[in-house]
């Protein structure tokens, strides 16, 4: 979990956090906080901003993990 010290928003990870900051050290101030909603991020039920893609990817990983586990069960059954 990342909290932005500049705007006080909370983020589900470093990637969405980085994405909401526009950093250019040739400019003053060098860091600008962008509106996460304008970047396609969503506020999740924990009050953190994140990319909806992250949730989809997590669900996909979980499905793969379950499939792998089911595969192990099948192998165990075959060995018995
Ligand atoms: Zn910020």
Measure the CA–CA gap between 9 and 35, rounded to whole angstroms. 10
CA of 10 to the centre of ligand 1 (A): 8
Task: Show the CA angle centred on residue 69, arms to residues 63 and 74, nearest 5°.
Answer: 125
Token pair in block for residue 73: 């069960």
Q: Using the mean position of ligand 1's atoms as its centre, give its distance from the Cα of residue 47 in Å.
A: 14
Q: In which band, very low, low, confident or very high, does the pLDDT at 75 lie, cut at 50, 70 and 90?
A: low
Rounded to the nearest whole angstrom, what is the distance from the C-alpha of residue 20 to the centroid of ligand 1?
A: 6
Band (pLDDT 50/70/90 cuts) for residue 80 is low
pTM beyond cutoff 0.85: no
Average of per-residue pLDDT across 52-67: 79
pLDDT per residue as tens digits for the range 2-26: 899 999 999 999 999 999 999 999 9
Q: How far is it, in rounded angstroms, from Cα 79 to Cα 66?
A: 20
pLDDT digits (tens, 9 = 90+) for 41-56: 999 888 999 987 666 7
Give the 3-state secondary structure of residue 23: strand
Neighbours of 50 (CB within 10 A): 22
């Amino acid at each position: 979990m990342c909290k932005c010290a500049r705007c006080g928003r909370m983020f589900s990870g470093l990637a969405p956090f980085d994405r909401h900051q526009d950093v250019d050290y040739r400019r003053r101030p060098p860091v600008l906080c962008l509106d996460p909603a304008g970047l396609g991020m969503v506020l999740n039920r924990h009050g953190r901003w994140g990319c909806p893609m992250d949730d989809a990817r997590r669900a996909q990983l979980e499905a793969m993990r379950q499939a792998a586990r089911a595969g192990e069960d099948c192998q165990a059954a075959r060995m018995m």
